[in-house]
Amino acid sequence: MFLLAEGGHHTPLIVDFINQYLGEPVYQFELKYTKPIWDSIFAKFGSNAEAVFGKYSPETAIPWYTIMFVIACLLTVVLIWIFKGKLSEDDPKPGQLTLEAGILAIKDLVVSVIGEQGFKYFPVVATFATLILVSNLMGLFPLFMSPTAHVSVTFALGITSFVYYNYVGIAENGLINHLAHFTGPRLPLIMTLIITPLIFAIELFSNLIRPGTLGIRLFANMFADEQISAIISGLFPPFTQFFVPIVLLPLAVFVALVQTLVFTLLSMIYLSEVSHGPHEHTHGGEHSPVTGEAIATAHV
């Protein structure tokens, strides 16, 4: 059911427009290449691709959440480019000051959660935070929908975070030490033989389900927000449907900020766990200042 869940009750016009011109070739590609693969996979469970993903057609060949997420990526780059403007250390513009304030806030959060060495993960963490915030806020504007209101997008973000922090753990500590941090604290020999395998199994299972927990946390709240907005809009005449989002704007922005913060914090906590060797919990290193040059070199 989650795979079929979508926020709202309409398809944005831009989605119809893109599918009108690109839907047919994409549809033919899906029928020829991807649908047979999914059919063979789901056939083992007594199902097929259309039962899981819905009916294939040129009108829905490119899903709305895919188009909205691509737009969110483009908007994120454009917004940062606009805020950055022409960088200057002597006479920074308001946009640069705003962007620097955001960077410093995320940087301090990264350092407080991961430690001083966590600043090297700043580009990835900041990209997650900015992209998810823009995606969450898109649903507030006409002709757009929040891509994070669909579970496919939030699961993709969760899996990306999962792959990245495990990659960091293996790169920093090696595969053996990375797995060893699932064993918990060092215990006496007798307790190690009894308790450590149990701790390892629990921690490993907890780690493996994190893509799901990350995805569902973000999806559930944004999906609920989309549904509530749709219900409220349905109770009012059409001419008031643009007024209702403005009235609810502060609450919607607060929800979007909270969801972005939760996802980003959880990702940083997981990075903190794997960026140290097993049984290590100390932080060290020098605090790197953020200047205009840091903004110029930070990747989005």
Q: Which residues contact 116 (CB under 8 A, 6 or more apart)?
A: 283, 284, 285, 286, 287
Q: Which residues contact 70 (CB under 8 A, 6 or more apart)?
A: none
Query: In the prediction, which pLDDT does 13 show?
Result: 86
Same domain, 284 and 230: yes
Domain hosting residue 21, numbered range: 1-62
- Where is the domain boundary, 22, 41, 62? 62
Same domain, 2 and 139: no
Same domain, 158 and 182: yes
- Where is the domain boundary, 62, 84, 102? 62
Same domain, 168 and 268: yes
Reference 115, options 297, 243, 278, 288; nearest CA is 288
Same domain, 33 and 134: no
Same domain, 68 and 193: yes
Same domain, 51 and 104: no
Q: List the pLDDT tens digit at each of the 300 positions of the chain.
A: 334 444 444 678 899 899 999 999 999 999 999 999 999 998 988 888 888 888 899 888 999 999 999 999 999 899 888 887 777 777 778 877 888 888 888 888 888 888 777 778 888 888 888 888 888 888 777 788 888 888 888 899 889 989 988 898 888 888 888 888 888 777 777 777 778 888 888 888 888 888 888 888 777 766 666 665 555 555 555 544 455 555 556 666 666 777 677 777 777 777 777 766 554 544 333 333 333 333 333 433
Same domain, 16 and 135: no
Question: Would you state the structure tokens that stand for residue 159, as one six-digit string?
Answer: 């899996």
- Where is the domain boundary, 37, 62, 87? 62
Provide the whole-model pTM: 0.73
What is the 3-state secondary structure of 71-89? Answer: HHHHHHHHHHHHHHCCCCC
Domain tally, the chain? 2
Q: Are 287 and 116 in contact (CB under 8 A)?
A: yes
Same domain, 182 and 44: no
Same domain, 45 and 67: no
Reference 55, options 37, 25, 21, 31; nearest CA is 31
- With H, G, I as helix, E, B as strand and everything else as coil, classify residue 138: helix
* The residue to which tokens 């749709």 are assigned: 230
Q: Are 282 and 187 in contact (CB under 8 A)?
A: no
**From CA 47, how far away is CA 40, in angstroms rounded?**
9
